[in-house]
Amino acid sequence: MSLEIRNLHARIASNGTEILKGLDLVIEKGKVHAVMGPNGSGKSTLSKVIGGHPDYEITEGDILLDGTNILGMEPDVRSRNGLFLAMQYPMEIPGVSNANFIRAALQARLPEGEELEATDYYANLYSKMDSLEMDRKFTARSVNEGFSGGEKKRNEILQMLMLAPKYCILDETDSGLDIDALRIVANGVNSYRSAEVGMLVITHYQRLLDYIVPDIVHVLWNGQIVRHGGKELALELEERGYDFIKEENAA
């Protein structure tokens, strides 16, 4: 069981610029993969393409979720099939409360005609919020509106815990977090690690990987995975910077 990316080529729909140029990656259940890379290497594109963002076009390749090709699926169908995307810049949705938003997402997973049980829902929501040290007032506030950077990231992880996905893509989850917030978010993510869940952590800095320790580290450069290694590869990148990767691949 895995999320498998095969020879993926993707370009920006509006101007045709190719960003991903034949990317291969297999995220098995029970494993945490990290993708690291310099700015502009295609990290954020990767997460959006997996999620099905309309800004990108796939020109070649496949993405298989437990063997099923998801490329033709709408983003919401992918989500209901067990995929979760924690975004680098979560959207602000004025007028839609956080509680109603998550509730609508859970409701969408139920068969037609079945109603979400409100009491259970709130009990579940509050316990997850407590684990992320989120104030109860966040249930009534509009989704991400006026949230600090750290609050938005915690809210992403809250949604992840509530929706219980099989595969999680965490895109630059550490950006905008101070050390305390980083610890809380990482604890939330770690609490969700299990043999039933595959994770892909996308990050520029090694810092996050001190807290969410990966099983495998990949280096993304110019739209392709150019190197694999254990968690020590992240430390090496931190020490030497990305330049040596660039030199190796320029040669």
Partner 1 sequence: MSNTLEPVATQATESVFTAGPDFASHPEAFRASQSAAWETFSSLPMPRRTDETWRFTDTRKLSLDGFVRAEAVTDAEQASLLLRSKGLGKTSGRMVFANDRLLVCEMHGEDLRAKGVLWLPLEQAIAEHPELIARYFMQEKTVLGSAKFAALHASQVRAGMVLVVPKGVEISLPVETFHWLSGENASVFPHTLIVAGENSKFTVVDHFASAGETTGLAIGVNDIVAGAGSKVTYVAIQDWSRSATAFHLNATTVARDASSLALRLNLGGAFVRDEAVSRLRGPGGRSDMLSVTTALGSQIFDQRTLQVHEAPNAASDLLYKNALNDTARTVFTGLIRVDEGAHKTDAYQKVRNLVLSEEAEANSAPGLEIEADDVRCTHGATSGALDEDEIFYFQSRGIPRRVAQQLVTFGFLSEVFERIPDADLAAHLSDCLHGKLG
**Given the rule CB under 8 A, which residues bind partner 1?**
51-54, 74-76, 78-80, 84-85, 87, 90-91, 93-96, 100-102, 104-105, 108-109, 142, 159, 163
Distance of alpha carbon 251 from alpha carbon 235, whole angstroms? 23
Alpha carbon 24 to chain centroid, angstroms:
17
Amino acid letter for position 243: D
- Our CB check for partner 1 shows the closer of 125 and 233 to be 125
Distance of alpha carbon 209 from alpha carbon 192, whole angstroms? 16
The CA-based angle 165-170-172, given to 5 degrees, is 165
- Our CB check for partner 1 shows the closer of 112 and 243 to be 112
Question: Smallest gap, in angstroms, from Cβ of residue 53 to partner 1?
Answer: 6
Question: Smallest gap, in angstroms, from Cβ of residue 239 to partner 1?
Answer: 35
Question: Smallest gap, in angstroms, from Cβ of residue 94 to partner 1?
Answer: 6
- Our CB check for partner 1 shows the closer of 101 and 242 to be 101
- Our CB check for partner 1 shows the closer of 35 and 158 to be 158
- Our CB check for partner 1 shows the closer of 54 and 67 to be 54
Distance of alpha carbon 33 from alpha carbon 17, whole angstroms? 27
Question: Smallest gap, in angstroms, from Cβ of residue 236 to partner 1?
Answer: 33
> Can you list the alpha helix ranges (DSSP code H) found in 52-139?
75-80, 98-107, 118-131
Alpha carbon 30 to chain centroid, angstroms:
16
What is the Cα gyration radius of the chain?
Answer: 18
- Our CB check for partner 1 shows the closer of 55 and 180 to be 55
Distance of alpha carbon 176 from alpha carbon 154, whole angstroms? 11
Distance of alpha carbon 194 from alpha carbon 30, whole angstroms? 5
